[in-house]
C-alpha cells in the first residue's frame, strides 16, 4: 500500500499576497517569543520596518530549519550563495 501525500490549501489574504520587499532584517527575543523585523534600507542611512513577525521559540526554530533546508536546495540548483566580507551587516536601533 502506498502512502498518499496530503496537501492542504493555504489561503493568502489579498492584502498581503503581493508580499513586501526587504533587504535587511533584525531579530530580537525574549523568553517567550522571537521578534523578526524585516527592513528596507534606504539612501541617507534611513531604515524602515516593512514587516514585523512575532513567533514562539519553537516556531522560530522550525522557520530556521526550513530556511536552511531551502537555502541548501537553492544552492544545489543554482550554486553557492556568496556573501561579500563585511558587507550587509546591520545592527542597531530602528525608529
**What is this structure's pTM?**
0.74
- Domain range annotation of the chain: 24-78
Question: Which residues sit opposite 36 in a β-bridge?
Answer: 27, 53
Mean pLDDT estimate for the chain:
88
Residue 78 sits at φ, ψ, to 5 deg, of: -120, -5
The CATH fold of domain 24-78? Transcriptional Co-activator pc4; Chain A (2.30.31)
* Residue written as grid cell 493555504: 10
pLDDT tens figures, 43-77: 888 999 999 999 999 999 999 999 999 999 999 99
Q: Which of 44, 20, 26 is nearest to 93 (CA)?
A: 26
Amino acid at each position: 500500500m502506498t502512502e498518499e501525500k496530503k496537501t492542504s490549501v493555504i489561503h493568502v489574504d489579498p492584502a498581503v499576497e503581493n508580499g513586501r520587499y526587504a533587504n535587511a532584517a533584525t531579530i530580537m527575543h525574549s523568553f517567550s517569543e522571537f521578534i523578526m523585523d524585516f527592513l528596507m534600507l534606504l539612501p541617507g542611512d534611513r531604515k524602515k520596518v516593512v514587516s514585523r513577525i512575532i513567533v514562539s521559540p519553537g516556531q522560530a526554530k522550525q522557520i530556521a530549519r526550513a530556511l536552511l533546508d531551502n537555502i541548501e536546495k537553492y544552492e544545489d540548483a543554482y550554486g553557492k550563495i556568496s556573501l561579500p566580507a563585511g558587507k550587509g551587516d546591520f545592527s542597531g536601533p530602528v525608529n
